[in-house]
Structure 1
Amino acid sequence: MTLMRFDPFRELERLADQAFSVGARATRSMPMAALRRGAEFLVFIDVPGVDPEDIDVTVERNVVSVRARRAPAHQEGDEVIIDERPYGEFSRQLFLGDNLDSDRMSGDTRDGVLTLRIPVSEASEPRRVQLGTADTSEGAPQHGTASSATTGSETASAADRTTV
C-alpha cells in the first residue's frame, strides 16, 4: 500500500466539525486527489485563497503533514454582511509507503492547488534480472548455486536465458 486512504481520526475530526459548526456549511478540510503517474505519485490538495507563504509541508519518517492558514478577508471596522468562507488553520496528513522516496519529494502551488510530487524509490521499481545457466562440469558451480550471467560479448541461446 502506498498511501493510507482512510484515517479514522481524520474522519472523526470531520464529523465533529460538521456537528459543531452551527450554520456553517464548510468543514475545515482540504480536499485531495492522489494518483500515480509513471514513476511518481502526484497529490493535489485544494488550498484556495491561501498565500503560499502560509503553507507548511513537513516530512517525518513516512508521514507528510500539510498545514495551511487562511485569514479572514475582513479587517477591523468592516461591517461583515455574510462570511461563509472557512478560515483558520487546516491540516492534512499522508502516510507514505516504504516504496516512496520522501527525500526527493517536491511541491508547488498554482491556482489554489498545492501539488506534491513523490517519486517511487528506485529500489521499488520493477527491474529485469538476467539469469545464466549452471554448468555441471568440474570447477563450475553445482546445481542450486548461482552462476554468472552472460556478458555482452558472449552469446547464449534463448533456452540459456530466463527473464524474471
Structure 2
Amino acid sequence: MLRFDPFSDFDTMTKQLLGLGTDTGRVPRFMPVDLYKSGDHYVLLADLPGVDPGSIDVSVDNGTLTLTAERSGRSDEGVQWLTSERFFGRFRRQLTLGDGIDSEHISASYDNGVLSVTIPVAERARPRKVEIVQGSEGQRSIEATAS
C-alpha cells in the first residue's frame, strides 16, 4: 500500500539545502553575519572561526559585496570520529549594496575568527544642511535628517 506523506518533500529539500545526506554531510551553506550602522558607515561582522586569513576574499562588483572564505578539511586517516559538527569547505555570502554606499573605500580586517567589513556611506547620501531663502527675512538653516 502506498502512503502519501506531504512532509517528505520538505524533508528532502531541507536535507539538500543543508548538505545532509551527501557523502560527507559537511558542506557549509552560510556564514552568520551581523550588520549595523554607526555614524557615517555600516559595519558587517561575519563569523569565520578556523578560517585561514589567506583564503578570505572580499570584493565589490556592480553593487554586490561578495565575501568568500575556505576552511580546510581534516585528515580522517586513523581517526574514529565520535561526532563531527564543524563545517569545512568554501563559504560564500553576497549582499546587495545601495546607491548611497562609497564602494571605493570599503575596508576589511580579520581578527579572532571574525571578519569585519566597514562600508562607508557616500558623501552625497550623508545628512546635510539646506539653506532656505524666504523673501526679505534673509537666510536660515534647517538641518535635514535621514529617516
Same fold (TM over 0.5): yes
CA distance in 1, matches of 2:130, 2:52: 48
- 1:28–1:86 contact (8 Å) kept in structure 2: no
- Give the residue type in structure 2 aligned to 1:131: I
Within-5 A mapping of 1:10-159: 16-18=16-18, 20-22=19-21, 27-74=28-75, 77-81=77-81, 82-134=83-135, 159=137
| Deviation of 1:78 (Å) | 3.6
Output the TM-score relative to the length of structure 1. 0.68
Extract unaligned runs of 5+ from structure 2: 1-12, 143-147
| Deviation of 1:15 (Å) | 7.2
Percent of pairs with identical residues: 31
Q: Which has the larger radius of gyration?
A: 1
| Deviation of 1:130 (Å) | 1.8
| 2:5 alignment partner in structure 1 | none
Q: Residue 162 of structure 1 is aligned with which of 131, 140, 146? A: 140
| Deviation of 1:161 (Å) | 2.1
CA distance in 2, matches of 1:80, 1:57: 36
CA distance in 1, matches of 2:49, 2:138: 59
| Deviation of 1:132 (Å) | 3.4
- 2:28–2:88 contact (8 Å) kept in structure 1: no
- 1:100–1:119 contact (8 Å) kept in structure 2: yes
SS at match of 1:129: strand
How many residues end up aligned between the 2 structures? 127
Distance 1:109 1:39, change over 3 A: same
| 1:6 alignment partner in structure 2 | none
- 1:52–1:109 contact (8 Å) kept in structure 2: yes
CA distance in 1, matches of 2:80, 2:69: 24
- 1:29–1:91 contact (8 Å) kept in structure 2: yes
Extract unaligned runs of 5+ from structure 1: 1-12, 136-158
CA distance in 2, matches of 1:34, 1:49: 21
